[in-house]
Amino acid sequence: MSGTELTVHVNRTAANTLETDADSLETDRRLTVVLCGHERPAHVHCRLGGGLDRIATIDQSNYYIAAGDTVGVPIDVDGNAIDEPVSGYLEFVTGYGSESVSVDVTLVPPPPEIEVDETLTKPNRERSDPPAVDRALASVREDFGLDSTTIGVLALGAFAVAVAVATAATIGSVVALLGLSIVLGGVAVAVWLLV
């Protein structure tokens, strides 16, 4: 979020009335006040007090709000000037001073900035160093003269034999033993064709 927003309703219930949507707020960034005009037009005076005026500024303090209008009042906060929380208030006055409302505001230091340097763009290991699995497959290919397709088929055959043995041992029937013998025969034919 780029900032915190506070809404002030002007003349919503009667002439020269002000209502806010919050009694207090806390922020570490830009604050925007939205003045919402309702039944009648009005002049609204905005000011910072209680120490907020040292680290925050309002571009313009007097606003004319027509009936049905919405006006944004930006309040810039100097986050670099905040070392510890600063409390104060934001006051709104209308009806030539006859009506006012204030909102307690606490400005807190912004989170610390994280510096990003060039080392974060580099990988942790060198690309020229292959992973252990790649080195193991290369060793098997050199030792036995097998290509990667043959190694894959052999691994799949070993897996099929393991499943067939586990199934035959668990079930223990003649049909399971027949299935095991078919799998063993199929793997043997595949190895004979590959090698």
- In this predicted model, what pLDDT tens digit does every residue of 158-194 receive, in sequence order? 888 888 888 888 888 888 888 888 888 888 887 787 7
Greater pLDDT, 151 or 167: 167
Report domain extents, the chain.
4-107, 130-194
Which of helix, strand or coil describes residue 147?
coil
∠ CA 73-46-69, nearest 5°, is 50
Which of helix, strand or coil describes residue 155?
helix
Contacting residues for 81 by C-beta, under 8 A, at least 6 apart? 54, 55
Residue 58's nearest CA partner among 46, 69, 68 is: 46
Q: How far is CA 168 from CA 15, 75, 180, 182, 191, in A?
A: 90, 78, 7, 12, 22
Determine the pLDDT at residue 96: 84
Tell me phi and psi for residue 97, to 5 degrees: 90, 0
Among 88-92, 114-118, 125-129, 140-144, the range with the most confident prediction by mean pLDDT is 88-92
pLDDT one-digit tens code per residue, 69-102: 999 888 888 767 777 888 889 999 998 888 889 9
Superfamily of domain 4-107: Immunoglobulins (2.60.40.10)
Determine the pLDDT at residue 1: 37
Q: Would you say residue 148 has pLDDT above 60?
A: yes
Tell me phi and psi for residue 8, to 5 degrees: -120, 120
